[in-house]
Structure 1
Amino acid sequence: MRAAVCYLLLIICLPATAQIYQYTDAQGNPAYSDQPPSDTRSQAIAPTPTHAIPGPTRLPLPTPPAAARPRTVVAQPYEVLQVSGLPRDGALRANNGSFSVQVLLQPNLQGPHRLRLLLDDQPYGQPGTALELHLENIDRGEHRLAVQVLDGEHVVQQSPSTTFHLLRVHRP
């Protein structure tokens, strides 16, 4: 069974590995084909590799059971924690859906703490220490953005949500 699946995948992938030939047509223009022309001289060329950028991964936000949540109020370790870099009127134009935001943080990020974005109340990307965070391929429309300070999996502090409207070209 496994061998049959491997052969099937190999057969499917064969057209993707076809050779490409370059030649000059009758009008003197460069032309390309997957078959070498019989009447003119052609040169086999190697295709350049394509570059793929993986899309963002939204991680589910773990919700501890009510009994496991601490009931004590802990002082906020950061006096300033907010997302900046969004327009004041709330409308952001990013035709490809990609843009960056900055995190205003005072005092500086403490040793074990990491920052994580929340896009529409869902974790966005992996936690890190960078104060400039990049979002990619976000759908147009209204969104909420906030940032969390994490200590391992524990949320130490969260900024207020900022609402913005993403304007981007819609191509059906």
Structure 2
Amino acid sequence: MKLISLTLLLTCVTTLYAQVYTYVDKNGNTIYTDNPPEQQETRKLDIQLTQPVQQAQQEQQENQQEQTAANETKTVRLSPDTMAQPTSNDAINTMPASINDSINQETTSYQHIDIIKPANEETIRNSGGQLTIEVKSEPTLASNHLYRFLIDGNVIAETTSKTYNVSNLERGEHKLIVEIINASDKQTITRSQERVFFIKQTTLAEKKRINPCLIREYGIRPECPLKDKPKPQPRNLLLKITDLTGVTKPKEE
């Protein structure tokens, strides 16, 4: 039930009228209302409403509407410098490094990361256990991310380079995995499938067979030990005489 203050009604001085009823409740209180209760003896009053009352009612309604809109709407206030920033990709590149890295970290989503070299189950033949690793990611590596190379579960490098050379790998089977990680906290973002490869070091006998030893190389090349150097063949007496006279000349070994 809507109650209207008697004091407010008595101060009204304009030509607007409202129907107001008054009655005495069971507690002996005088009640003024524009909606009298049923089965209650009331007395009708002619009350003039002033313009300030209408304005007050209108302002109250507007305040309630504004309050409702404020509760339902969340407003984000930006500083003039922020509002002036363009929204293109060039704007992201001009931001401070910390902000730019944060954006890259949140927006970069890698579709895949592949190991280009070595091929799966490839046999690498060399004497130093050397291996060249090459990877490719889509999209390319973000500025705040790193490649992490793992062989047999051990981290061998964390770098931004797509290629990395390894040496002194033992003979036998090895397993390779490449991950993309955050440079700050080293957390893994994505990883490649496991790649198996084999290291087969070339033996000295194989190297000697491929590249035979020269006389002057004995004692220098590991596969040409000095003890295996062939002994010179003895020359007969006639050749020795001709050598002394300058007719023939001993072959250089």
Instruction: Provide the C-alpha distance between the structure 2 equivalents of 1:158 and 1:143, rounded to a whole number of angstroms.
Output: 17
**1:136 equivalent in structure 2:** 167
Select the residue among 58, 75, 81 that pairs with 2:113.
Answer: 81
Aligned residue for 1:111, secondary structure, equals coil
Q: Is 1:169 paired with 2:202?
A: yes
Q: Does 1:158 align with 2:191?
A: yes
For residues 155 and 88 of structure 1, the distance between their equivalents in structure 2, rounded to whole angstroms, comes to 23
- Residue 121 of structure 1: CA displacement? 1.5
Q: Which amino acid aligns with 1:146?
A: I
Cα distance between partner residues in 2 of 1:114 and 1:88: 23
2:200 & 2:137 partners in 1: Cα distance?
A: 28
In structure 1, distance between residues paired with 2:143 and 2:108 = 16
CA change 1:121–1:76 in 2 (3 A) is farther
- CA drift of 1:80 comes to 2.3
Quote the RMSD (CA, aligned, Å): 2.3
Aligned length: 97
State the partner residue of 2:50. none
In 2: Cα distance, 1:113 partner to 1:136 partner: 25
Unmatched segments (≥5 aa) in structure 2: 1-106, 205-253
Give 1:76 shift: 8.6
Query: For residue 141 of structure 1, what is the amino acid of its counterpart?
Result: G
Partner amino acid, structure 2, of 1:165: F
- 1:82 touches 1:146 (CA, 8 Å); kept in 2? no
Q: Comparing both chains, which one has the higher relative contact order based on Cα–Cα distances under 8 Å and sequence gaps of 6 or more?
A: 1
Write the deviation string for residues 8-58 of structure 1: whole angstroms up to 9, x where unpaired: xxxxxxxxxxxxxxxxxxxxxxxxxxxxxxxxxxxxxxxxxxxxxxxxxxx
Between Structure 1 and Structure 2, which shows a larger proportion of helix residues? 2
| One-letter amino acid matched to 1:91 | T
- In the alignment, which residue of structure 1 is the partner of 2:156? 124
Indicate the percent of aligned positions where both proteins have the same amino acid.
Answer: 21
Structure 1 stretches of 4+ with a deviation exceeding 4 A read none
Unmatched 5+ stretches in structure 1: 1-74
TM (normalized to structure 2)? 0.35
Could you tell me the TM-score, scaled by structure 1's length?
0.51
Correspondence for 1:5: none
The higher radius of gyration belongs to 2
